[in-house]
Amino acid sequence: MRITLIGQAAFGEAVLKALLEKGEEVVVVYVPPDVPGRRDQLKELALSQGIPTFQPPRMRDPHVYSGYKGLAPDLGVMAFVNDIVPATILDCPRLGTIQYHPSLLPRHRGASAINWAIINGETRTGLTVFWPDEGIDTGPILLQREVTIDPNDTVGSLYFNRLFPMGVEAILEAVEALKRGTAPRLPQDESHATYEPPCQEEHAIIDWSQPASQVYNLIRGTNPQPGATTYFSGERLKIFDCELRPSPREANAGEIIAVTDEGFLVAAIGGAILVKRMQPSGSSKIAASDFVASAQLGAGSTLGR
């Protein structure tokens, strides 16, 4: 089967490697244009295997379709795609195009599905392989797999430990179903659809007057990107690794309750957050205990605007 692969980064690389190990014929790879100072693992693997590799600025440029059609593909596979892929390309392969998405569609459509599931405090999520159309994650479902969101999961742990490897296996399973002629096209139930915007800094500002559990979910739901933002003495800080703790005493929201070798404990409603790893403005990520020493932060200090 002649497969075209559109994707990028480590997930795209893993999908290409898995397809090749299964003996599939990948006839072309499309990756985004190069970013200075950043290597793309999918591009490097494709070139090392002698697979034609293209980097159009936009997949919807007319000349991209003409070259794509000339390949006479049987199946298109999309693995980590941020660009808008037009219907002409999606519908071009003989068997159509399939795509991976890290949520149980129609829940959490959009580019930050994992972030929002954790931020919302959900305990279950999953992945979907579906038939993309011109909407945002709206096409028919081919298969789904469900996973548990553990209480201490971050975006990074949930993705790399479970949704990433399961996603590669799900794509292989979908390809096999297509070869057998047993791949379904199950319409999404629009009554259960949700969509969230890309999770950016504006969505990740900590309000210490919220319940501690909500603050904790926001921090782990933005770790490693974009990081949860707070302030100390007017300086912007990003918080990454943390723990949810009971509060040892009454304190104002955002007040530093205690400083320990592990970091510093911040009060919120009904509990506290032990900050363990963070990033001061203009710096790399550091242990919270190192920041305490340099910033003269101590019990009684306050975080927030």
pLDDT for 121 equals 98
CA distances from 53 to 29, 58, 116, 122, 152 (A): 5, 14, 33, 39, 39
Give the separation between CA 75 and CA 265, rounded to whole angstroms: 53
- Domains of the chain in sequence order: 2-192 (3.40.50.170), 201-295 (3.10.25.10)
CA distance 236 to 60: 39
Q: What is the pTM of this model?
A: 0.96
Q: Which residues are within 8 A (CB) of 14 and not within 5 positions of it... i.e. 6 or more apart?
A: 164, 165, 168
What rounded mean pLDDT belongs to the chain?
Answer: 97
In this structure, of 75-79, 121-125, 138-142, 289-293, the range with the lowest mean pLDDT score is: 289-293
pLDDT of 85: 97
Cα gap 6→97, rounded to integer Å: 10
Name which of 5-19, 67-81, 125-139, 290-304 the model is least confident about: 290-304
What confidence score (pLDDT) does residue 294 get?
A: 87
Residue 60 makes CB contacts below 8 A (sequence gap 6+) with 83, 84, 85, 86
What's the whole-number mean pLDDT along residues 207-225?
Answer: 98
* The predicted structure's pLDDT at residue 293: 84
pLDDT of residue 247: 93
CB count, 10 Å around CB of 235? 11
Summarize pLDDT for 128-152 with one digit per residue, the tens.
Answer: 999 999 999 999 999 999 999 999 9
Residue 305: its pLDDT value, please?
81
